A and B are shown apart, each in its own frame.
Chain A
Amino acid sequence: GIQVEQSPPDLILQEGANSTLRCNFSDSVNNLQWFHQNPWGQLINLFYIPSGTKQNGRLSATTVATERYSLLYISSSQTTDSGVYFCAANYGGATNKLIFGTGTLLAVQP
């Protein structure tokens, strides 16, 4: 079936370090989104990136649709970056529902 896999499952960083989170998806996608879930549970939109590269401040993302993966880069990490990062793929169909990965739990230590 349709799958979205994320790695690593958890990650501990020292403040100021860089990191790369990976998302693999099993089929061609209409859309891929990256979210940050904050400690209160809110899903914050980071990137809407079905293909190509986007940057927003210290964060950037690249999706290589032909190879079915997406990468989220976090540079100069801060303690406020801590939380769970989800990627979610929209495989189209009638609903365009999102299929979520299991997330990467990031802890940034001061």
Chain B
Amino acid sequence: GAGVSQSPSNKVTEKGKDVELRCDPISGHTALYWYRQSLGQGLEFLIYFQGNSAPDKSGLPSDRFSAERTGGSVSTLTIQRTQQEDSAVYLCASISSGSGYEQYFGPGTRLTVT
């Protein structure tokens, strides 16, 4: 079936503007992750959703970052009042509860804050 999809693939925004990044996980996958890949920081965990449980937000770098997952499927990561240090590739991954812990990643959204 289809893999994890993300949109937009690229986003250029001005400092101070808000952005929304979207992730469509693999159909039927119950767990969803957001990661960020930036120069100097590598790949780092941001937030985790599992079913109807409260999300684990421990990786979010500041309160300008938030995420939601509607209907247990699509997720949106929102960054408010973007800063230049938010420039990075934002990656989404999902897991099927019945397949162990193997994570499958989307193509990412490259965010550039000017």
Contact = CB atoms under 8 A, between A and B. Distances in A.
A100 B43 contact: yes
Instruction: Classify the secondary structure of A's interface with B.
Output: strand
Given A41-B89, A43-B91, A45-B104, A97 B33 contact: yes
Interface string A22-61: 0000000011010100001111010010000000000000
A95 interface: yes
A45 B102 contact: yes
A97 B102 contact: no
Give the interface size bracket for A toward B. 20 to 34
Interface stretch (B14-22, B75-83, B105-113): B105-113
B108 A33 contact: no
B102 A31 contact: yes
B42 A103 contact: yes
Contact of A100 (B42, B48, B89, B101): B42
Contacts of B93: 98
A103 B102 CA distance: 19
Contact of B101 (A31, A45, A99, A103): A31
B23 interface: no
A86 interface: yes
Contact of A41 (B44, B48, B100, B110): B110
A62 interface: no
Given A45-B104, A100-B44, 11 more contacts: A42-B107, A43-B105, A45-B105, A86-B43, A88-B103, A90-B101, A94-B56, A95-B48, A96-B31, A98-B35, A98-B93
